[in-house]
Amino acid sequence: MSADPFDTPLRRVPLHDLHAELGAKFVPFAGYEMPVQYKLGVLGEHLHTRTKAGLFDVSHMGQLRLRGANPAAALETLVPGDIQALKPWRTRYTLLTNDQGGVLDDLMVTNLEDHLFLIVNAATKDADIAHLTTRLAGLATVEPLPDRALLALQGPAAASVLSRIAPSVAAMAFMTAADVDFDGIPCFVTRSGYTGEDGYEISVPGADAERFARMLLAHEEVAAIGLGARDSLRLEAGLCLYGHDIDETTTVIEADLAWAVGKRRRTEGGFPGAAIIQRQLAEGAPRRRVGILPEGKAPAREHTEITDGTSKIGEITSGGFGPSQGGPVAMGYVDAQYAVLGTVLTLLVRGVARPAQVVALPFVPHRYFRG
């Protein structure tokens, strides 16, 4: 008899006990027991991050090293990004694609000169490791880093707080990386994040994670932030959530991620699904991911049907209340002819037809530090 998958115990991140101490409410997420909110609540945590600094535990995500004679060239056989042009100590967003041009995962890649450092999504990390290991056999080796935690400090006060401990981080620009010592804790830092705000992601040895987190939380600008606010922040920033806004059935072009396909790669291809992506770049995709602004106060959640008033033309993939926006916001896919800004749509929210329109993303301007 096979094991009941529902009996599989949830994994815990290194900071689990600290989250409990801080009053976290936990939920199952990607096989982990994760904090969804703390005492501030999702709304309070969201607004705190937009105005001060939020500390997110994203240790459930996968951290990997890719080594080989030319790991950048090897990785390019699986992604459409121009990884070989990535300068040392720079970070780039890219995607693992399948033969249909769909997205197996989205990930961050940093060039650390003698190897690449990858961060992949939690729900797909085991599949990603297997995919990379199998497809890159003989070209590169995959080294998972399960003993490391990953924290994100996000918000307008993030640089001020972090530079009090290590002044050098203040000079880092968006999508750059550095090895940084924080009071004796050796960390790998990128100036990046997934909230639309300025901030950093910090890879820290798991054994030192709690001391480092407490070091940050000791600053009055910093509050612990859970998955609930992380989701509303990235939605307002117009950023995709894997498994919702992008997946194996959505092509890179349909997802409005053409900017992630390197100029050289558009011409030469050489990655899974290249022919389909090249064709859609030239001719357009049959549907597109768009920003959607519902009228009124009722949020349109995932799987809400989108119509032109009579027929279904798409579906919401992410939606909810945008605290900074002050009302409901959403993203979804519509047939290409309806993807023009200003197009009027009808959303079937709990069976009730409600008006909406296609709007530009993001809903809240990005505030990345470009240097």
pLDDT for 103: 98
Cα–Cα separations (whole angstroms), residue 246 to 68, 255, 331: 30, 7, 11
d(CA 43, CA 8): 32
Return all residues near 294 (Cβ < 8 A) that are at least 6 apart.
300, 319, 327, 328, 329, 330, 347, 349, 354, 355, 356
Residues of the chain with CATH 3.30.1360.120: 6-60+147-236
Answer yes or no: are the C-beta atoms of 25 and 194 closer than 8 Å: no
Cα–Cα dist 145/336, whole Å: 41
Cα gap 161→53, rounded to integer Å:
8
| pLDDT number for residue 7 | 59
* Helix (H) or strand (E) segment spanning residue 18: helix 16-21
Classify strands 91-97 and 141-144 as parallel, antiparallel or unpaired: unpaired
Alpha carbon of 239 to those of 18, 126, 332, 363, 366: distances in Å?
A: 28, 23, 12, 10, 11
Helix 227-236 and helix 41-51, axial crossing angle in degrees, nearest 10: 50
Mean pLDDT by 10 residues, the chain (371 residues): 58 98 98 98 98 98 98 98 98 98 98 98 98 98 98 98 98 98 98 98 98 98 98 98 98 98 98 98 98 96 97 98 97 98 97 96 97 85
Q: Is 224 exposed, middle or buried (0-12, 13-18, 19+ CB in 10 A)?
A: buried
Q: Which CATH number fits domain 6-60+147-236: 3.30.1360.120, 3.40.50.1860, 1.25.40.10, 3.40.1440.60?
A: 3.30.1360.120
Check residue 4 and give its pLDDT: 44
Question: Which regions of the chain carry the CATH code 2.40.30.110?
Answer: 286-359
- Place domain 286-359 in its CATH homologous superfamily: Aminomethyltransferase beta-barrel domains (2.40.30.110)
Q: What is the 3-state secondary structure (H, E, C) of 98-143?
A: CCCCEEEEEEEEEECCCCEEEEECCCCHHHHHHHHHHHCCCCCEEE
Asked if 348 contacts 299 with a C-beta cutoff of 8 angstroms, the reply is no
Report whether 18 contacts 210 (CB < 8 A): yes
> How many whole angstroms from its chain centre is CA 366?
14
